[in-house]
Structure 1
Amino acid sequence: MAKKSFAEQASADTTEIGFHYQYYYFLYRLLNLKSGQSVGLEVKDDVHTDLDNETQILFQLKHTVQQNATGGSIALTELDGDLWKTLRNWAKIISDDTAGRDQQAKQHEFINKTEFHLISNKSESSRNEFLRKLEAYKATALSLEDLCTHINALYEKTQDKDIKGYIGEVLTLDKNILAAFLRKIYLELNLDDLHTLIKMAIKEKMIESSKVDAVFERLDSNIRTDNYIRIKEGQKIELDFDSFYKRYRTIFSSSREPLQLGRPFAPAFPEDVFAQVFIKQLVAVSAMKIDDVERAFEYTTNKLKIVRFLDDWLQSGELVADEIADFHKDVKTKWRNAFEHWCEDCLDRDVVDKAKQLLYDLRKIEFSIASNKLNTELSNGELYHLSDERLIGWHRDWKTL
């Protein structure tokens, strides 16, 4: 292997990718937040998650650009500096007297509410005897004494002063504290493609596959900018579920495909279109004539079309039931406000004129559903549909007609 130049050795590339690895894991954890939880970046650890049951997860992120003979990331060995530096860091956090954990009782309390996760793109190695023994210990298939014997052997074996120092500091923990700590250690290796994980988490939030990349780019850009501002203002980078939802939810909602309003539609008309309630209501206020067949079929088509489209959008997942319910509610509210203005207290001689004015005003409105504006045809169809269901009317006494 060619010797690297001084400039190459001094390059910040490897440090920079480590920062990106840490940030993108933070973003991944954000996307997996549940109500009552929060995620922090470089607050309690590289990344941390506070759960809603008063427990926390500390994440140490270790990224390597070193490759093995096959081009993959090198394996995590049992005398890996990243491994033992991470365990040393956690040992120091556990026994941090500045945080009031100089007594064993406080250290036990901290460990009981904490999980310690090492995340790395390094690969697993079948020759990592320490990790094998650690898992055996956690499964109660190996005693603490046997595990500590192996750790001491590693201490004696290594010639690296830094690694020897890391192992030594881990072993300075009280035996009972060390026993509890080792049971709470978890490793996730081979975690290299964080972008794919993030995009999968975005897709799982019901985002169309064709929109995932756009959501990722907008989310990435906005969170990076907000993080920069927080750091500049001396604030911690920590977000709870409610803050994340409030701040970034529009990125997800704006990615939804607009409803297709011009899809083909072939109505199945009732046997007697003039027998429909909404037609009778229109005739009652002279909004159409009893023998106007062309207009009766036109209005019926409008009514049938909105009913069919709403059902199609629901079945295809383009809308959900509460969005449709909110749509009906909004239209009824707009009707009620206009009805109270025009019809509620009108005189007997003005009943028809006021009803026609009410109908005229409402027919001009293009209603919206889930941020989609409907055209006039569908908006009018919704009015006829609600009228046909006896939920709204035009005549002052429409309920008793």
Structure 2
Amino acid sequence: MSAIKTIQEQHTAGPQAIGFDYQFYYFMLLALDLKFGQKIGFEVKDDVHIDKEDGTTTLYQAKHTIIKNSKGNPQNLTDLDIDLWKTLSTWIDFINADKSSDFLNKHTFILVTNKSENNNDFITTLNTFKTDNNSDVVKLKIDELASKTQDETLKKYFKKVTKLSKSKLGVFLKKLTIETGEDEIIDKIKKKILEKFYQENLVDPIFESLSSNLNSAKYLDIKAGQRFEISGEDFGKRFGKCFKVATELKPLPKRNLPVLLPDDLESQVFVKQLIDIGEIQSGSNYIRDYTTHMLKFLNEFSYWSDENFVLPTDIEEFKRNSIQIWINEFRSKYRQIERQINNGSSIEDLEDDIKSLGIEIVDYIRKQDLSIQGFSALGIEFSNGYYYTLSDNLELGWHFDWNNKYKKE
């Protein structure tokens, strides 16, 4: 079995595949910061590139390893790392292919890797050069590294770098950046999304939609023989729909907690109001149902508020709009009653009519499917529960004279 396993491992490309994924996700990370006037490309001029509005281009090489060190972190980027020197050699080929200095003057070079930087003498020397501009020291360091290896491929890469003219080498080194420890790339993309939309519950849906659509677009463009490049202006047109989840109406989360009913259901103010107009009778099973609707709403509403799913301003607007619906219907139904009272009729003489109209108001309000700003409708059960809550708090009522009848209690 061990021999079979060895053959299987030789014919699988897991580490190589994750390397391509790493390049793609790094492309996605950069695309999230793309500005108008810029264009980003994947596997066009390099692993990733960005053409800027001033006519310059940044080339990115993204290198990933799955090999861990003794501490469980990605292996170090050593002085003799083949990915490092192959990348520099490739960029030197680009420079040498251009007989003028136009390419070098218009390009910057960034190597990105998840490998750790730990006592890398070349990176230390490079950073020192950017302060003192002494390229001779860099050449000496490269010659020293070449003497430490018998790998002919590495020696070839070293030689190619040191053969660059002193002036070009100086410009190249100034424009060269090596970024190590660029790991957990998906988490960094999600953090970037969170920084843009500020709502954690939107991060995963946006990430999934954007990564899926970018990947599909990449496949289709390359399959059609086209370059996969996206301008800042085109990004919104082609992939703006991926961010619609941030503006689309969505349901509020529900926990469906158990409801603990009070011992004396009929002592609740909202139940008294309904009994008084004859909408329900004392002892009715509906009292338990209505109380359940109210408590279910209160359980979830407290959760939405405490966890900041809804803002205080959203809550105030929700309440104001909900009460306004009731006010409009209340005024409409009781307009004639109000005229009769103003003309000398007593409320007692109009009690039967008032109760009938009160029931009509309840029936109308129960048909309302309320919604909180930015979210889809709550549903009839929760909407009814909210109105029972307002009624229980004596913020609205059904009887024409509810404000006097119940606030005296």
Whether these two folds match at TM > 0.5 is yes
Are 1:39 and 2:43 counterparts? no
Q: Which residue of 2 aligns with 1:298?
A: none
Are 1:263 and 2:256 counterparts? no
**Distance change (3 Å), C-alpha of 1:372 and 1:158:** same
2:126 to 134, 137, 141: 134
The Cα of 1:372 is off from its aligned counterpart by 8.6
**Distance change (3 Å), C-alpha of 1:249 and 1:294:** farther
Q: Which residue of 2 aligns with 1:174?
A: 165
Does the aligned pair in 2 maintain the 1:73–1:123 contact within 8 Å? yes
Does the aligned pair in 2 maintain the 1:207–1:252 contact within 8 Å? no
Task: Kindly provide the CA deviation profile for residues 339-369 of structure 1, in whole angstroms up to 9, marking residues without a partner as x.
Answer: xxxxxxxxxxxxxxxxxxxxxxxxxxxxxx9
CA distance in 2, matches of 1:200, 1:114: 29
2:220 to 229, 235, 238: 229
SS, match of residue 95 in structure 1 = helix
SS, match of residue 254 in structure 1 = helix
Q: Which residue of 1 aligns with 2:206?
A: 215
- Which amino acid in 2 is paired with 1:166? Y
Mean CA deviation greater in 36-45 or 202-211: 202-211
SS, match of residue 196 in structure 2 = coil
Does the aligned pair in 2 maintain the 1:208–1:256 contact within 8 Å? no
- Which amino acid in 1 is paired with 2:33? N
1:1-400 paired onto structure 2 within 5 Å: 5-96=6-97, 101=98, 103=99, 106-107=100-101, 109-126=102-119, 128-140=120-132, 143-206=134-197, 208-256=199-247, 258=249, 263-265=318-320
The Cα of 1:197 is off from its aligned counterpart by 1.1
CA distance in 2, matches of 1:230, 1:31: 20
Does the aligned pair in 2 maintain the 1:199–1:212 contact within 8 Å? yes
- Which amino acid in 2 is paired with 1:263? F
Does the aligned pair in 1 maintain the 2:205–2:245 contact within 8 Å? no
Does the aligned pair in 1 maintain the 2:48–2:60 contact within 8 Å? yes
The Cα of 1:258 is off from its aligned counterpart by 3.1
Task: Kindly provide the CA deviation profile for residues 53-95 of structure 1, in whole angstroms up to 9, marking residues without a partner as x.
Answer: 2221100011111111111111001111111001001101112
User: Structure 2 length as normaliser, TM-score?
Assistant: 0.61
- Which amino acid in 2 is paired with 1:30? A
**Distance change (3 Å), C-alpha of 1:294 and 1:124:** farther
- Which amino acid in 2 is paired with 1:245? G
**Distance change (3 Å), C-alpha of 1:164 and 1:250:** same
Does the aligned pair in 1 maintain the 2:57–2:107 contact within 8 Å? yes
**Distance change (3 Å), C-alpha of 1:26 and 1:264:** same
The Cα of 1:174 is off from its aligned counterpart by 1.6
CA distance in 1, matches of 2:11, 2:181: 27
Q: Which residue of 2 aligns with 1:281?
A: none
Task: Kindly provide the CA deviation profile for residues 238-282 of structure 1, in whole angstroms up to 9, marking residues without a partner as x.
Answer: 00011110111122123336397982239999xxxxxxxxxxxxx
CA distance in 1, matches of 2:376, 2:108: 45
CA distance in 1, matches of 2:40, 2:89: 23
When Rg is computed on C-alpha atoms for both structures, the one with the higher figure is 2
SS, match of residue 25 in structure 2 = helix
CA distance in 1, matches of 2:211, 2:123: 35
SS, match of residue 162 in structure 1 = helix
- Which amino acid in 2 is paired with 1:22? Q
**Distance change (3 Å), C-alpha of 1:267 and 1:222:** closer
CA distance in 2, matches of 1:241, 1:181: 28
Aligned residues: 280
SS, match of residue 139 in structure 1 = helix
In the TM superposition, structure 1's runs of 4+ consecutive aligned residues that sit over 4 Å from their partners are: 259-262, 266-269, 291-295, 369-373
**Distance change (3 Å), C-alpha of 1:293 and 1:43:** farther
- Which amino acid in 2 is paired with 1:121? N
- Which amino acid in 1 is paired with 2:171? A
User: Structure 1 length as normaliser, TM-score?
Assistant: 0.62
- Which amino acid in 1 is paired with 2:44? V
CA distance in 2, matches of 1:267, 1:46: 55
Q: Where does structure 2 lack aligned partners over 5 or more consecutive residues?
A: 251-313, 325-331, 340-372, 378-409
CA distance in 1, matches of 2:168, 2:376: 59
The Cα of 1:167 is off from its aligned counterpart by 0.9
Q: Where does structure 1 lack aligned partners over 5 or more consecutive residues?
A: 270-287, 296-368, 374-401
CA distance in 2, matches of 1:293, 1:81: 90
The two structures, once aligned, show a CA RMSD in angstroms of 3.7
- Which amino acid in 1 is paired with 2:125? K
CA distance in 1, matches of 2:336, 2:168: 88
CA distance in 1, matches of 2:337, 2:229: 65
Does the aligned pair in 2 maintain the 1:45–1:60 contact within 8 Å? yes
Does the aligned pair in 1 maintain the 2:197–2:246 contact within 8 Å? no
Q: Which residue of 2 aligns with 1:395?
A: none
